[in-house]
Amino acid sequence: MNFENTLIFAQSLDQADPLREFRQDFLFPNQNGKPFIYLCGNSLGVQPKAAREVLNEQLNNWENLAVEGWFEGETPWMFYHKKLKKMMAPLVGASAAEVCPMNTLTVNLHLLMVSFYKPTSSRFKIIMEAGAFPSDQYAIESQVRFHGYDPSIAIIEVAAREGEYTLRTEDITSAIAENGNDIALVLFGGVNYFTGQWFDMDAITKAGHEVGAVVGFDLAHAAGNVPLKLHDWGVDFACWCSYKYQNSGPGGISGIFVHEKHFSDAKMNRFAGWWGYQEEQRFKMEKGFLPEAGADGWQVSCTQVMPMALYYAALQSFEKAGFMEPLREKSKSLTAYLFFVVNEVNKALGNEQYKIITPITEADRGAQVSIIAKQKGKEVFQELVANNVLGDWREPNVIRLSPVPLYNSFEDVFTMGALLLDISKRIL
């Protein structure tokens, strides 16, 4: 498509957008009586209007049923997670049995590593992306130390080539192959939080399995953002938060994926709790852990009803939209338009003040554009916020902008670009 940097053109794209009505399903923060142009869904999604109603329903159940709410009412809490599983599965390309909502992201990463990081004296290394989100780095370092290894030896980080910002798939797969005899676990992000690069998860999984390693992913910036096929790719395990692109609220509940090929492994280690015990026998309170079938067997503590209610409200929008395929089609166009608009700002300024470090190739990115501001980046960002455009800032000089297809418009992108140009002319 030949884009135009005009309001009329942006509005024409919005009129042709089959998802445009979904914007009305969300609430936006306001400043000085005006709603923000919200481009920060990569960090925290906005509130679905359905959230308050669904949460109030469970508060009413608590008020009127109290402890009987676990088994009584229209949505007994004992089984509430099962409503979510059917809606979560299409977002990550899995069966309902392979996914489960529980805990928070890094807690789940630790629980899954208990099962899937099984180091031996000859095969104990973990290979990951350099520049992964700090929580992943800390979790992996602590797991390695827990098993008695030195992180500087046991962790292999694949970095971008000198002068580049993103990783090449061939460099990742080559590093896996070269260190194959030493690798116990390949653990990558699905989408890198800083650059917005969507890794070739299929190729990484194949490379890891070819050397006999287990392969897992942190999908914090991928789930609800890009189409995933975890089952078909043969990924061993994954986990994600739900409060970014999936809009489940701050600190919202996490999700896990465990491939069904592992369900019959009776020798698999796990940190057990009573909610992962076989459902039909759970309240007999007997000794000797017997896991529930599927991903549900990794549960530890009882259902977090209120966070699950908020996640349920958020997932309704995905279900109504047809899950990831239509969202991805809009996302590709919306993000491409953001690329175009930022480059138009650079043209008007006569230099590359804003260097885009997110891959330009559609297959290598999701709904995020990361921009290095070469001069006065923090001041530019603060001026955008003062003018009701909210992205986010990452030190030392990166502005991340994430146009989310469920609630952002092409007009949002155009208006951001016009403001960015005006601000740049004033303060640079």
> Taking the domains of the chain in order of start, what are their residue ranges?
7-35+324-427, 54-320
Which pLDDT score, from 0 to 100, does residue 40 have? 98
CATH (one of 3.40.50.300, 3.90.1150.10, 3.10.129.10, 3.90.320.10) for 7-35+324-427: 3.90.1150.10
What is the distance between the alpha carbons of residues 101 and 246, in angstroms, rounded to a whole number?
13
**Could you check whether the bond before residue 396 is cis, i.e. omega within 30 degrees of 0?**
yes
Query: Is 54-320 in CATH node 3.30.420.40?
Result: no
**Per-residue confidence of the chain (428 residues) as pLDDT tens digits?**
899 999 999 999 999 999 999 999 999 999 999 999 999 999 999 999 999 999 999 999 999 999 999 999 999 999 999 999 999 999 999 999 999 999 999 999 999 999 999 999 999 999 999 999 999 999 999 999 999 999 999 999 999 999 999 999 999 999 999 999 999 999 999 999 999 999 999 999 999 999 999 999 999 999 999 999 999 999 999 999 999 999 999 999 999 999 999 999 988 999 999 999 999 998 888 999 999 999 999 999 999 999 999 999 999 999 999 999 999 999 999 999 999 999 999 999 999 999 999 999 999 999 999 999 999 999 999 999 999 999 999 999 999 999 999 999 999 999 999 999 999 999 99
What is the distance between the alpha carbons of residues 254 and 137, in angstroms, rounded to a whole number?
18
CB 346 within 8 A of CB 172: no
Q: Which long-range contacts (CB under 8 A, 24 or more apart) does 357-362 make?
A: 357/165, 357/166, 357/195, 357/398, 358/166, 358/195, 358/196, 358/197, 359/166, 359/195, 359/196, 359/197, 359/198, 362/332, 362/336
Which pLDDT score, from 0 to 100, does residue 418 have? 98
Give the side-chain half-sphere CA count within 13 A for 337: 32
